Structure 1
Amino acid sequence: MAGKIASGFVIFRKHSEKIEYLLLQTSYGIQHWTPPKGHLDPGESELKAAFRETMEESGLLKEDLKVYEDCKKVLNYEVKGKPKTVYYWLAELINPRAEVKLSDEHQDFKWLEIEEAMKYADYKDMRELLLDFEKYVKSLK
C-alpha cells in the first residue's frame, strides 16, 4: 500500500536586509514547527496542493508568493509506522502587506532567520531542507 503524500512551501521573506523563514506550530500532537503543508486531495497535483494548503494554513495566497519551481526537495519518512512523502518548493513572499492568518490546525507562527529556524525544526531532514533552501536563496543575487 502506498503511503500518504503531502506538499507545501518553504516560504521566505526579505525583511530589513535579513532572510526569514515562515514556520507554523501545530495545535495537535507534539506541537512541532513546520512550513505550511498538507495532504493531496484525490486527483490534485503536488504543486496545486501546496498552494491550497498554504492558503488554508497560513492565509497566504498564490498571488502573495513567487515560487521557485526549480528549487524542490522531497522528504520521505514514517508517521505512526506508515510511509509519508512530502514535496516542498521554495517560495518567496512578494506581497509585503500579506498577513499570516492561521487555521485551527496551528496555534502560532514565527518568521525566523536560518539559525533560529534550525532550532525550531525538530527533525534532521527538515533542518537539511532549510539549509539547502538557504543556499539557494543566497545564490539568487
Structure 2
Amino acid sequence: MTSNVVVAAGLIIFRRFENQVQYLLLKASYGSRHWTPPKGHVDPGEGEFETALRETAEEAGLAKDQMNIYEDYQKTLNYDVRGKPKKVVYWLAELKKPDDPVTLSEEHTDYKWLPVDKACDTARFREMQNVLCDVDLYLKSRN
C-alpha cells in the first residue's frame, strides 16, 4: 500500500543569531496558508535527501554549500492530507552565515526566523511542533 502514500522531504533549517537558535518557517501561498520548513514531493527517480536539497533551493533559495547538514538527524512524519496518507522526511541543517538571504518561490508568501517556542506557535500542526521541540532538545544536548 506504500504506492498510495505521498512522499515529501525537506530540511529543518536553523541559524544561530544574537545568542539564539532560530528556525526557518515558510508561509504557504495555498490552502490554509500554513507555516512549515521548506519541503516538497519526491520526484520519480529522486532520493528523499536529494528532494530535501532541491526543494530547499527552490523554495528558500538556499544551496547545500550554505548549510551544515546533520545527515545523522532524520525525522519522518506520517499524517493524512485530505484523506490520503503522507510521509515527510526531514533532515536538520544549520545556515553557515546567519544573515544569508532567503529567496522565496511563488509557493510561499512570507518567511520567519523564530525561536523554538514561537516556531511551535506558528506551526499549527502538532506533528511539526513535536519535531521542532525534538530538534531543539537535540541541539541543546550537543552543546
Asked if Structure 1 and Structure 2 have the same fold, meaning a TM-score greater than 0.5 normalized by the shorter chain, the answer is: yes
| Structure 1 residue identity aligned to 2:73 | C
Measure the CA separation in 1 of the matches of 2:74 and 2:101. 24
Secondary structure at the counterpart of residue 78 of structure 1: strand
Measure the CA separation in 2 of the matches of 1:65 and 1:37. 16
| Structure 1 residue identity aligned to 2:126 | K
Measure the CA separation in 2 of the matches of 1:128 and 1:139. 17
Measure the CA separation in 1 of the matches of 2:29 and 2:123. 16
Of stretches 123-132 and 96-105 in structure 1, the one that deviates more from structure 2 is 96-105
Query: Mapping of 1:83-94 within 5 angstroms?
Result: 83-94=85-96
1:118 matched to which residue of 2? 120
Q: Alpha carbon RMSD of aligned pairs, Å?
A: 0.9
Q: Sequence identity of aligned pairs in percent?
A: 50
Partner of residue 35 from structure 1, selected from 34, 37, 52: 37
* CA deviation profile, 1:52-82 (whole Å, cap 9, x unmatched): 0000000000001111111110000111111
Matched, 1:45 2:51: no
Moved segments of 4+, more than 3 Å:
none
Secondary structure at the counterpart of residue 53 of structure 1: helix
How many residue pairs end up in the alignment?
A: 141
TM-score, normalised via structure 1 length: 0.97
Query: Mapping of 1:36-115 within 5 angstroms?
Result: 36-115=38-117
Give the Å deviation of 1:122: 0.8
Q: Is the 8 A contact 2:17 2:98 kept in 1?
A: no
| Structure 1 residue identity aligned to 2:95 | L
Secondary structure at the counterpart of residue 19 of structure 1: strand
Measure the CA separation in 1 of the matches of 2:113 and 2:105. 17
* CA deviation profile, 1:86-105 (whole Å, cap 9, x unmatched): 00011100133421000000
Measure the CA separation in 1 of the matches of 2:31 and 2:136. 28
TM-score, normalised via structure 2 length: 0.96
Gaps of 5+ in 2: none
